[in-house]
């Protein structure tokens, strides 16, 4: 809901200020679709938050593999928070630590957070995936990715 409101604010108040005068008389502006999309997103968020999409006795019909947002804190939110922090750390360290070290570390730590305990399989798979992605981006696509940490250059 917050994202939809922020998107709508930008669509209503930020996109149309730089339009040239001849476009300001048009019935459809470049911000028309974002405005419509933000209204739909806010309405959908309200329906979900207020619980109009389900009947009162639908809680009996929730299967064990489905997420019940009414019991959100019964789930493992800590793992999700750790993964989000890990993604932020990966993005911040990508340049200084280099692609190979930061990606390999990210894959290994994320796998451990998610419950993988077979390090004999985890380490070669993470290494192969890291090197393979780096080779495809650098060698095949020709996009430079700093492979090694900054202090080694």
**What does the pLDDT look like over 94-131, one tens digit per residue?**
888 989 999 999 999 999 999 999 999 999 999 999 99
Helix spans in the chain (H): 2-13, 32-50, 77-97, 99-113, 119-135
For 20-74, the pLDDT digits (tens) are: 777 777 777 777 888 899 999 999 999 888 877 765 555 566 666 676 767 777 7
Reported pTM: 0.56
Please give the pLDDT value at position 57. Answer: 53
Task: Give the Cα separation of 106 and 86 in Å (integer).
Answer: 7
């Amino acid at each position: 809901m917050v994202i939809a409101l922020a998107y709508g604010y930008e669509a209503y108040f930020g996109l149309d200020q730089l339009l040239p005068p001849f476009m300001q008389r048009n019935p459809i502006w470049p911000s028309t679709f974002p405005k419509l999309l933000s209204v739909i997103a806010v309405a959908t968020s309200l329906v979900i938050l207020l619980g109009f999409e389900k009947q009162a006795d639908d809680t009996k019909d929730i299967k064990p593999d489905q997420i019940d947002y009414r019991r959100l804190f019964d789930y493992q939110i800590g793992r999700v928070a750790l993964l989000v922090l890990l993604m932020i750390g990966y993005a911040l360290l990508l340049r200084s630590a280099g692609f190979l070290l930061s990606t390999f570390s990210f894959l290994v730590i994320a796998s451990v957070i998610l419950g993988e305990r077979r390090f004999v399989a985890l380490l070669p798979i993470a290494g192969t995936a890291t090197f393979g992605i780096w080779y495809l981006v650098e060698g095949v696509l020709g996009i430079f990715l700093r492979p090694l940490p900054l202090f080694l250059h």
